[in-house]
Structure 1
Amino acid sequence: MVCALGDSRADILAAWLAGLSVLPVPPSWLDSAIPAFGVLTELPVIPTHLKQYDCRNNRLLLSALDQIESSVGTAIAHYGAGRIGVVVGTSTSGIAEGETAVQALKASGSMPASYRYKQQELGGAAEFLAAHLDIRGPAYTVSTTCSSSANALASARRLLRLGVCDAVLVGGADSLCLTTLEGFAALGAISKTRCNPFSKNRDGTMIGEGAALFLMTREPGAIALLGVGASADAYHISAPRPDGSCATLAMQAALDDARIKPEQIDYINLHGTATWQNDAMENRAVGRLFGGDTPCSSSKPSTGHCLGAAGALEAGLCWLLLSDLNPANRLPPHQWDGEPDPDMVRLNLVGLENQGPKPLQYCLSNSFSFGGNNVSLLIGHP
């Protein structure tokens, strides 16, 4: 994992549990005044023979891969390169490099010699990882905006269940670019102050960037993807269905898939964008299914909304909660101003006194996207 909180699992978890968040600032590598949660750690260099894939998005993927590359190598040696798949979720790919190239074209009349269309092609994310690792199984990219990498995890599980692959390198990445920042600003979805989910004072989200990768297999393990639920509102191109009914369907489907009851869930990572409509919809959906007892919080005040990477990144955060890196069973605090919206039902938003009452077994992570593309992932100890 790599995000605004850091580039190691231990550092990211420690910062998240402590309620720390970096101050979003305009990214220095973009000509934009819009604050965002950028990754400030140094990113790896793309190998020379793969320069056609050289973009910030793929460097984020490479940073995440570095943390598990030995495990991937072991899987390749065990199963064979043809039995390993790659599924990546992204919504931006290397569009920032395309923006820079177009600016050079306008200024000089020609594209930079270093520019390659593969840098910004959506499919390039999975192609890059497959080429870098010489993996020869299925390799493809999923792009459903904010649920992209949650859908990628669901796709990876299908490849395993169908017997197409024996292991899948799966996750997501998104990098900051002008198209995203200016686009969300045009929608009026960027906060003028802070990301303040579920508050009566919420006024929008903050965009972030990052990457998370998993090695998924059928082998028994301490932590598993136990349930996947998906639904589609088809209500509006960007706004969610207000009553939250389709989001409820996705969460219920994940519970049914895992054969888990709502009261067994120990923690919910809320989509929690701090936009007016999305928070109201998710509040209705979670309240309808879980009531006000299940601990929950949004990680976006700490990481920003990482769009195509959000599903994998937030599933990764849940994985960290369940891992031996969290022996005290602590839960991440919900960062907001503490002023509830009187039109919302009460949820159990985690406070700073966040030690879990018992060992954590099941976490649910929500990703709700444009067009009402909803995905809920249930991760736990099998």
Structure 2
Amino acid sequence: MTLYLNVLGIVNPLGCGKDQVAENLFAGSQDGLIQNDTYIPDQSVYVGTVDTDLPVIPEKHSLHKSRNNQLAMMALQEIEADIQNLISEYGNERIAVVVGTSTSGIGSNEPAIAEKVINGTFPPDYDYQRQATSDLSQFIQNYLDISGPAMTVSTACTSGAKAVASAARWIEAGICDAAIVGGVDSLCGLTLNGFNALDSLSKGKCLPFSDNRDGINIGEGAALFVLSRQPGLVEFCGYGETSDAYHISAPSPEGLGAIKAMKLAKGDHEVAYINLHGTATQLNDAMEAKAVNELLGDHVPCSSTKSLTGHMLGAAGANELGFLWLSLIHQKLPPHIWDGKSDDALAQLKFVKPDDKLETDNKVLLSNSFAFGGNNICLAVKKASPL
């Protein structure tokens, strides 16, 4: 069964909507990485911020009021007309929602949690549902008034990518005819302080694969697609999912799970480009460079876009799949933005330079996502053949 990523709604630190995101993505803009001193006590860090007015959650969905769902709503509004056409064709009970998040709406509940710590009671308007991981898929379902199966995937930094793979299995099994898929995560104190406690945050703007890399920037964003059998511009070619079970927060240094995930995703196709997980941490970049080099050598163009957006955690895999979608539409590649200081201890890779063009020739584009607990996923897409 051939599946397609028919439409894309996207918002992240590169901009709002496909056009603005594409313009800044291919220009290698880091304007969305902004210093912020409100999340971590007595410390300023760079974060990837969506710096625009977000849509207001309608009052009838007040239970779901959170920044996370506002980001989701902005991405949904870009593709809402297409979704309504889909509902007209299949019926609202045959449209699934499969999305990923790691934060859900906890950022919007943090003031209430602080009040509970200080005063012993939650404020009257506190509702746990806003921070439940299920809230994202429930909000999208309620907002669109659809009644098909719904699921929120929460597997840390692979959540948004794993949602797409899960939805593909649902369509292939006949559980639904089409699915709204993707990922959404919003900035919050919990994640920033957590990564700070792990000494994983960069002191400046992150430098993936650089000899000077010192950690990640955290970002926020939303990317939502329609996945269906209806022919479109971008074909969803496959996925590979593996589990290292090596360490709770460190990747297996040999990269065997990453290699297998990429092998499964690409199948028999040649590879035109890889969007690397590329967090700019010491261990991830060493593992990923080794895995990509061992499987594909040093001639396949690749880049990490986290130096443009920050690490969007549960939304990263979906947004970076969106970058592949935009690359195929525009026949351009996202440049690898760093300081150019190679780490001689890393396996060599071919990083995309500004203005490099995409040469597909029926090759696939890959997107890697790796997460805590050693769970790995790689997604593969290509430009659809003319009918």
Which AA in structure 1 matches 2:29? L
CA contact (8 A) 1:27 1:36 kept: yes
Please show how residues 84-123 of structure 1 align to structure 2 within 5 Å. 84-123=95-134
Structure 2 distance, partners of 1:27, 1:163, is 46
Look up the match of 2:162: 151
Post-superposition offset of 1:24: 2.9
CA contact (8 A) 2:11 2:223 kept: yes
Which AA in structure 1 matches 2:23? A
Post-superposition offset of 1:332: 1.4
Structure 1 distance, partners of 2:127, 2:364, is 44
Matched, 1:25 2:31: no
Of the three residues 126, 132, 152, the one matched with 2:143 is 132
CA contact (8 A) 2:39 2:193 kept: no
TM-score, normalising length from structure 2?
Answer: 0.93
Which AA in structure 2 matches 1:314? E
Greater strand proportion: 2
Listed as ranges, the gaps of 5+ residues in structure 1 are none
Of the three residues 9, 13, 22, the one matched with 1:4 is 13
Look up the match of 1:180: 191
Look up the match of 1:15: 24
Percent pairwise identity: 46
Post-superposition offset of 1:94: 0.7
Post-superposition offset of 1:108: 3.9
Structure 2 distance, partners of 1:31, 1:200, is 26
Matched, 1:281 2:287: yes
Of the three residues 299, 302, 314, the one matched with 2:305 is 299
Structure 1 distance, partners of 2:177, 2:77, is 21
Look up the match of 1:226: 237
Structure 1 distance, partners of 2:36, 2:163, is 28
Of the three residues 304, 321, 324, the one matched with 2:327 is 321
Post-superposition offset of 1:29: 6.8
3-state DSSP of counterpart to 2:219: coil
3-state DSSP of counterpart to 2:75: helix
Post-superposition offset of 1:283: 0.3
Look up the match of 1:164: 175
3-state DSSP of counterpart to 1:2: strand
Structure 1 distance, partners of 2:211, 2:190, is 29
3-state DSSP of counterpart to 2:218: coil
Alignment RMSD, CA only? 1.5
Q: Structure 1 residues 49 and 29, CA, compared in 2 at 3 Å: closer, same or farther?
A: farther
Look up the match of 2:6: none
Post-superposition offset of 1:105: 2.3
Of the three residues 235, 238, 242, the one matched with 2:253 is 242
Which AA in structure 2 matches 1:299? T
Structure 2 distance, partners of 1:23, 1:97, is 21
Look up the match of 2:4: none
TM-score, normalising length from structure 1?
Answer: 0.94
Total equivalences in the alignment: 373
Look up the match of 2:3: none
CA contact (8 A) 1:34 1:181 kept: no
Please show how residues 194-273 of structure 1 align to structure 2 within 5 Å. 194-256=205-267, 259-260=268-269, 264-273=270-279
Q: Deviations over 1:237-262 (max 9, x none)?
A: 00000011110010001112xx31xx
Post-superposition offset of 1:38: 1.2
Of the three residues 346, 363, 366, the one matched with 2:365 is 363
CA contact (8 A) 1:322 1:360 kept: no
Matched, 1:332 2:341: no
CA contact (8 A) 1:322 1:361 kept: no
Post-superposition offset of 1:26: 4.5
Post-superposition offset of 1:362: 2.1
Q: Deviations over 1:162-216 (max 9, x none)?
A: 0110110111100111110011011111011221001111000100000000011
Structure 2 distance, partners of 1:226, 1:117, is 38
Post-superposition offset of 1:28: 7.4
Q: Deviations over 1:265-314 (max 9, x none)?
A: 11100000000000000000000011011000000000110000001000
Post-superposition offset of 1:341: 0.7
Matched, 1:40 2:51: yes
Post-superposition offset of 1:35: 2.6
Structure 2 distance, partners of 1:135, 1:69, is 12
3-state DSSP of counterpart to 2:15: coil
Post-superposition offset of 1:344: 1.3
Look up the match of 1:372: 374
CA contact (8 A) 1:35 1:206 kept: yes
3-state DSSP of counterpart to 1:213: strand
Which AA in structure 2 matches 1:340? S
CA contact (8 A) 1:227 1:254 kept: yes
Post-superposition offset of 1:330: 2.1
Q: Structure 1 residues 219 and 174, CA, compared in 2 at 3 Å: closer, same or farther?
A: same
CA contact (8 A) 2:368 2:378 kept: yes
3-state DSSP of counterpart to 1:368: strand
